[in-house]
A = this chain, B = another copy of it.
Amino acid sequence: LRSIMPKPFSENFLLRQLFDRESCTYTYLLADVKACEAILIDPVIELAERDANLVKDLGLNLKYAINTHMHADHITGTGKLKKLIPGCQSIISKAAGAKADIYVENKDEIKFGNFKLEVRSTPGHTNGCVSYVDHDQAVVFTGDTLLIRGCGRTDFQEGSPERLYNSVYQQIFSLPDHYTVYPAHDYKGFTASTVGEEKRYNPRLTKGKDEFTTIMNNLNLPYPKKIDESLPANKVCGLQDLPDHLKF
């Protein structure tokens, strides 16, 4: 049980988790409060003002607005944040096939103040999915690759159950058990988990690869409600072809 105890954060490291009730997306604000440098992971366009205001309230400068992948269920807030906070740069993986200021690949590092995230390529939900690891804080932002007691669907975009399974085992379950798992979504009200808990209790990922693949291929999920507006917008950071109510 002590294997799941989070380790204390470094001095001056701030983490704030934010939630979008509509798409059940978690956005993460990370900052070095001494250097006043912040980053946002997976912001949502409808809540970009909320996030920009929080950054301002906390006296921080937003360096990067980052996506874990090209989302199909909501429009990214990165483009809007670039307008709200001039100087902020957007980041996505090269393999995502979307426009951004900076493209990252496996093993790259994203730096803000004294802190850094390691990029881990974790394809399977989409080809361009990455997870971001902060080894000093023992946290991993898993996007839709690993969810709490679940995982992202693999039945559209470039989904592949086998690739997702390999990604989770090679890149996430290989981390120490006490690393906190912060996913891009949760639908049941969980806010965090740990690598150790998911290795032991994830109902899908505790199965063998064949059984996992069978489960994933038989979920029969509905077509994502917002995919037809989200994908074209997310290809350009949520900057073009926006629905009327989101135009800015």
Q: Is the CB of B36 within 8 A of A190?
A: no
Q: Is the CB of A58 within 8 A of B1?
A: yes
Total interface residues on A, CB under 8 Å, equals 36
**Total identical chains:** 2
Q: What 1/0 flags go to A62-79 for Cβ under 8 Å of B? A: 000000000000000000
Closest to A11 in B: B5
Task: Looking at the assembled complex, report how far the CB atom of A176 sits from the nearest CB atom of chain B, in whole angstroms.
Answer: 16
Closest to A33 in B: B1
Asked whether A227 is an interface residue with its Cβ less than 8 Å from the other chain, the reply is no
| Candidates B1, B12, B16, B60; contact of A191 at CB < 8 Å | B16
Given A1-B59, A2-B12, A18 contacting B201 (CB threshold 8 A): no
Closest to A190 in B: B18
Q: Measured between alpha carbons, how far is A77 from B36 in the docked complex, in Å?
A: 41
Q: Measured between alpha carbons, how far is A19 from B186 in the docked complex, in Å?
A: 10
Task: Looking at the assembled complex, report how far the CB atom of A14 sits from the nearest CB atom of chain B, in whole angstroms.
Answer: 7
A: residues with CB less than 8 A from B are: 1-2, 4-6, 8-9, 11-12, 14, 16-21, 24, 27, 33-34, 36, 47, 50, 54, 57-60, 188-192, 197, 200-201
